[in-house]
Amino acid sequence: MKAVSKPIRIVLLALVVISGLALARSDLFFQIKKQLTIFSDVFREVSIHYVDEVPPETLMKQGIRGMLSGLDPYTVFVDEGEQQQMEILSSGTYGGVGIEAGYRGDRIVIIAPLEGYPAQRAGLRPGDQIIKINGLAVEGMSPEEVQQLTIGDVGTILRMELRRPGHDQTIEVELERERIEVKNISFAGKIGDNDQFGYVKLTRFGQNTGEELRARLAELNSTGDLEGLILDLRNNPGGLLNEAVEVVDKFIEPGVTVVETRGRYENQNNVYTTDEPALFEDMPIVVVMNSGSASASEVVAGALQDLDRAVVVGETSFGKGLVQTVRPLSYNTSLKITVSQYFTPSGRGIQSMDYARYSDEGGIEVADSLRRAFRTKNGRTVFDGQGIEPDIKLEGDRRSLLEIALKQENEFFFFISDRLAEGRYEEGALPESLYRDFTRYLVEKGFSFETPVDQHIEALENNIDRFSSETGANEHISELKALLRDYKVAELYDQRSMIERELRSEWYSQTLEGENRERRLLDYDPYITRSTELLSQMDQYMTILRP
């Protein structure tokens, strides 16, 4: 029998592979059709025959929610009413009055009116409590729901009823919605003893982030060469991948890999590289991040770290290495679905949760034993599986019980807000009596905070009947309570530096605007202080990047 030639064997093998793929795809479509038929049958039977009438829309939403609940939390169904929010995320603009709402205690208040927009021009200020929007009481709503009520078509009227600290009467304002631009860069300026360093706060990766960064850096550099840059990515949740690549492109020469995406299908596997001449190729960079830095923020931090182009300072990032795309569906709905994962230039993954394996929370943290080591451009060891770890780790927000209680009750915010409203302080220099007035205010109002000792004392009181009256248990408990009160008062003085720091920050937040406020707040930011120290010590900076 004559042997089959090599080219013919290759063709035959290719035909077998193609046939196998076609059969597999055909089987997948058959399974989809089969399961949809079953789902349709169940949906129809429940809609028609269930003992209680269930609206089909409700039943379908529950079914979709159940179907997606076994996947990652970023794969979500976007209903028709939520499309407007998706537009805001993609376009970076929306119709509104320029306020950010949030909790202060159990009240919904204005955190900050955006400078230059209707709310700020109308004199609304931080601390104003929102009572009604267009006649609808907001009590019981979340800040997100209240925020949604303020969004609408440009040119339409929004009526708000507010209560201001120090005023008995409510305030009613009528505002016309304008086009609000969600900023990618909230602040850019010069810092350092001699204004020798640039500072840029990136809050999101929306459209044109890369070009905005280029313009801001060129402007800062035009008034004197910068000796270094601090890129602040704290609490930046991410955004558009291409804009993250554009940001890295400003500091890296052309043709260098920034990030890879790898998915189920070949068309989801992409390599993103730099393609422009770097404008700031030699400028020393410190990237600041925390546990709220996610997705595109981690792409930027991971790339600059892997390429030994920047020192990363702060906390380990969030660990969101999953890539989503929006697939349009019928009736103005859509599906935001995960299609691939991010990988940094060294090849390490960013994702910290494995959603392919399930737990009660929907995913399992990547175990330390499964984390793999990778090498940066200069040979430094980095690991995958837990986001981006900093080169210089700063302790996270390990707050004392006193600080936690003061912030939970928003005591700093309301103390400054109320006294400004009452005219006790003038909006100028920081009052010297601020700390003394604040501690007196807390003592007079009977402020307290819970400690583990409080819980033990409560447990003793609940079981007091187990003790004989001869043991004097009640007297001992009273003595413990007195000692605990003294301890809590002493904490107000032992933690004076923390209290003064928070009072200063709150004072400047409520009495200054724009760049003046941002610059002042940075003076008391330990992350920025450590970053400027590092940029001032080039030997230490270079030792980290080239060990």
First to last CA, the chain: 66
CB 424 within 8 Å of CB 438: no
Q: How far apart are CA 456 and CA 173, in angstroms?
A: 50
Residue 386 tokens read as 């837990």
What is residue 227's three-state secondary structure? coil
Residue 473 tokens read as 């248990």
Residue with tokens 């030792």: 543
What is residue 221's three-state secondary structure? helix
Q: How far apart are CA 184 and CA 203, in angstroms?
A: 5
Q: How far apart are CA 354 and CA 197, in angstroms?
A: 40
Q: Residues in the chain, how many?
A: 547
Which is nearest to 304 in space by CA: 254, 262, 346? 346
Residue 153 tokens read as 């078509």
C-alpha 213: how far from its chain's center?
20
Q: How far apart are CA 210 and CA 231, in angstroms?
A: 13
Helices (H), 226-337: 241-249, 296-306
Q: Is the dihedral of CA 95, 97, 100, 104 positive or negative?
A: negative
Q: Which of 72, 128, 249, 306 is catalytic?
A: 306
Q: How far apart are CA 261 and CA 341, in angstroms?
A: 5
Q: Which of 72, 201, 249, 320 is catalytic?
A: 320
Residue with tokens 């109308």: 122
Residue with tokens 């601390």: 127
**DSSP character string of 21-37:** HHHHHHHHHHHHHHHHH
Scored b (16 or more CB within 10 A) or e, 472-508 reads: ebeeebeeeeeeeeeebeebbeebeeebebbbbbbbb
| Whether 295 is catalytic | yes
| Whether 306 is catalytic | yes
Strand 285-289, strand 311-314: pairing = parallel
Residue 537 tokens read as 């010590």
| Whether 201 is catalytic | no
Work out the angle at residue 279's Cα, subtended by the Cα atoms of residues 273 and 282, and round it to the nearest 5 degrees. Answer: 95
Q: Is the dihedral of CA 113, 501, 519, 244 positive or negative?
A: negative
Q: Which of 295, 346, 509, 531 is catalytic?
A: 295
Scored b (16 or more CB within 10 A) or e, 115-149 reads: eebbbbebebbbbbbbbbbeeeebeebebeebbbb
Question: CA distances (Å), 138 to each of 131, 143, 408, in order?
Answer: 6, 9, 21
- Residues annotated as catalytic (active site), given as ranges: 295, 306, 320
